[in-house]
Amino acid sequence: MLKFIDLSLLDVTNLKLSNLDLRDTNIRINPQIIFNKDLSNSKLSDSNVVWASFKDVDLRGADISDEKESYDIEYAIIDESTKLPINYVESKKLD
């Protein structure tokens, strides 16, 4: 039902966004200002995340595989179930 609600003007400062599938919504977030920097078990598309840092953001169990522009993913909190962006994964294979 979230995809039918206009979330584009929502202030996401300290908003709890863990455990949500936000892929088909128009919400725009900066991972640094959400509640506890916690996106664990969430699903996000590239259009959901503003160009921002993932440093110290909890991405355990999250799917950000569509993300194309953000940075500091190597400083995020991840686990084996985290789905990282393909361009990030490919760049790590080259290292």
pLDDT > 90? residue 87: no
pLDDT at 89: 65
Per-residue pLDDT tens digits for 41-63: 999 999 999 889 999 999 999 99
Residue with tokens 């202030």: 11
- Mean of the per-residue pLDDT values of the chain: 91
What DSSP letter does each residue of 3-57 carry, written as one string? GGS--TT---TT---TT-B-TTS---B-TTTSGGGB-TT-B--GGGB-S-B-TT-
Cβ neighbour number for residue 12 with a 10 Å cutoff = 17
Confidence of residue 95 (pLDDT cuts 50, 70, 90): low
pLDDT at 90: 64
